[in-house]
A and B are shown apart, each in its own frame.
Chain A
Amino acid sequence: MTICTQPLLESLFSARLARPVRAGEVVQTPVDLVMAHDATLSLLIEDFERLGQTVRMPERVMVTCDHFAPPARIDWANLQRDVLAFVRRHGVPDLRMYQGICHQLLLEDPRLLPGTVTVGADSHTLLAGAVGGFATGLGATDILAILATGETWFQVPASVQVVLTGTRKPWVMGRDVAFHLLRHFGEDGAAYRALELWDDTGDGLSMDARAAITCMATEMGAKAALFAPDAVTVEYLRLRDGKAPELPLPPRPPADTAYVEALAVDVGTLDSLIACPFSPANVHPVREVEPVPLDEVYIGSCAGGRLEDLALAARMLSGKQVARGLKVIAVPSSVRVMGQAMTAGYLQTLLDAGVCVSNPSCGACGGIDKGVLASGDRALMTSTRNFRGRLGPRDSEVYLASTATCAASALTGRLTAPEEVWPC
């Protein structure tokens, strides 16, 4: 049942429950896809076994080893051992050993389709809404209950409609659109709400750019973020799955639809943006921030290690060298992305420029793996968060920016707006 004056998410839940569902209602619903990674799954195993539970629908589960990939410490190796034993014991078919970041693997998974309900034991599961379904993050205990029962409860969130128009400057990326939204909402402005995004931009945002935006909606407090399925979605799914998806594209809901807020963003007016320490919502134009010297530049994470990122970084660093003594690290977000970047020659270009290319994983983003900071270090990263102490000591600092800004700054060794080194 679809009520055409509903926001997309309310239509989605109405269709699932076969009755009109409005924002604010608490609904009990089966989930289509459940993701848990090595770090969060390890937290629920003991309780799961103690309660004598079994995995209700193993074919709907994806388990990734990406946070400790591979483990650098004995205690984390032990946790991963327990995760692998759990997967074996419960016959979960889909195990991804060091195949990439969980959220990127969801995006690449044929089970993730418009209109589906996906939960993950990780806050950035919102990323999966890029293809047009409901996707949200939960803690390990909620995931335990979902593994055991196949369903969970949600309060259906009210929706904010975001319409993107205009044509981006060549160095302005999906990540900059996300920063603009972060500047608008702050760290909690979208709390308990869903962002419903419509892409009317001149050249259309790629799925990579969309994923950067839905990923970062987490930092606005949002419960979900979904791009209305359109021609870009259809083409992405066709290439991903080897066949065109059968889906009706949703019409734009009329003006009297019950949105809590409607926002129009002309992406043509945006410049490269940056989040200064210690909040992802502490956003400024890169050109207005002091060009401080840097110790590390990181291109990776579920917010910035996709093919589009590596392609642009390679283009900007081609035939050049990164600044002397600067730690520059690139981590492709999945094995598939890494393979494509290898075939296209991007990885060779990055290696030639002096970039350390590491295996697909969360890498430095989580502060538990490759690339943690030294006391007093200042880093520029495409990662999701720059909270104090996330990547190292309390006196280390992280700035967050697009891959274009990171690549420009890798060349100069200080915070640099991409247009300073453009054209390239």
Chain B
Amino acid sequence: MLSERTRTVRVLVLGDDVNTDLLHPPRFFGTTQEAVLPGFLAGYPPEVAAAFRPGDLLVGGRNFGCGSSREAYVRAFRYAGVGGIIAHSFARIFYRNCINAGIPLAHHPMLYRELTSWEEVAFDSAAWHVTRVSTGDTIPLTPPPAHLQRILAAGGLLAYLALNAT
């Protein structure tokens, strides 16, 4: 039985060393939805972004999100509705940026080799696991450390700051 925090979504499987210029090229830099959303996944062939639906997950390999610190990509993720990101490992600025934006991140060493793009999974961002719809297998994920889960639970760093303002 699926709880409320669990949603059935699809996965977009990407590889190792997925850099921020592939996820969101610098020429789409901006702050508004009109400026940044067209850059979402624009380093890939256009059909990739076209197939992506709100709530879908990005799944990648080693060093996911390496490259720039520009948070324009985080805005693009929010506008596109990225539901979460699961990777073997993350580049450090990317990791902090996504946590700060309230986008759930989890580690799994092999998921990007096991899943295929656009297959359906149920993602539980509180129990930190995914369930493959085709097989029913539940795969546990490694969640962020406790102090970062508190930021996620607040909905991101800004909400967390506002909550903890003295």
Residues of chain A at the chain B interface (Cβ within 8 Å):
26, 39-40, 42-44, 46-47, 51, 75-76, 79, 121-123, 137-142, 144-145, 148-149, 153, 187-188, 191-192, 219, 221, 223, 279, 366-368, 372, 385, 387-390, 394
Contacts and interface: CB of A to CB of B under 8 A. Distances in A.
B93 interface: yes
Nearest to B88: A188
A123 B63 contact: no
Given A137-B93, A385-B21, A388-B43, A40 B63 contact: no
Contacts of B161: 51, 145, 148-149
Interface in B100-153: 100-101, 145, 147
B49 to A, nearest CB: 13
Given A40-B71, A279-B17, A46 B26 contact: no
A124 to B, nearest CB: 9
A76 B31 CA distance: 10
26 contacts: A26-B145, A42-B31, A43-B70, A75-B30, A76-B29, A122-B69, A137-B69, A138-B96, A139-B74, A141-B97, A141-B100, A141-B158, A142-B100, A144-B157, A145-B157, A149-B161, A187-B17, A188-B17, A191-B89, A191-B92, A219-B66, A221-B66, A279-B17, A387-B43, A388-B43, A389-B21
A329 to B, nearest CB: 17
B43 A188 contact: no
Nearest to A141: B100
A144 B100 CA distance: 11
B157 A141 contact: yes
B25 interface: yes
Nearest to A391: B26
B73 to A, nearest CB: 10
A387 B21 contact: yes
A191 B21 contact: no
Nearest to A122: B69
B31 A367 contact: no
A142 B161 CA distance: 11
A286 to B, nearest CB: 23
B91 interface: yes
Contacts of A122: 69
A249 B42 CA distance: 48
B66 A187 contact: yes
A139 B157 CA distance: 12
Contact of A388 (B22, B68, B100): B22
Contacts of A144: 157-158
Given A121-B69, A188-B91, 17 more contacts: A42-B31, A47-B158, A138-B93, A139-B70, A139-B74, A141-B156, A141-B157, A187-B63, A187-B66, A188-B89, A191-B92, A192-B92, A367-B25, A368-B26, A387-B19, A389-B25, A389-B42
Contacts of B35: 75
Nearest to A148: B161
B139 to A, nearest CB: 23
B149 to A, nearest CB: 13
Contacts of B80: none
Contact of B43 (A39, A75, A149, A394): A394
Contact of A141 (B21, B67, B101, B162): B101
B72 interface: yes
Contacts of B92: 191-192, 221, 223
Contact of A139 (B31, B69, B158): B69
A123 B68 contact: yes
A75 B33 CA distance: 13
A123 B67 contact: yes
Nearest to B160: A145
A9 B44 CA distance: 39
Interface string B11-45: 00000010101100111011100010000001100
A148 B30 CA distance: 23
Interface centre among A122, A123, A148 (most CB of B within 10 A): A123
Nearest to B19: A387
A183 B158 CA distance: 39
A279 B69 CA distance: 17
Interface string B53-76: 000000000110011111110110
Contact of A389 (B22, B29, B89, B100): B22
B25 A390 contact: yes
Contacts of A223: 92
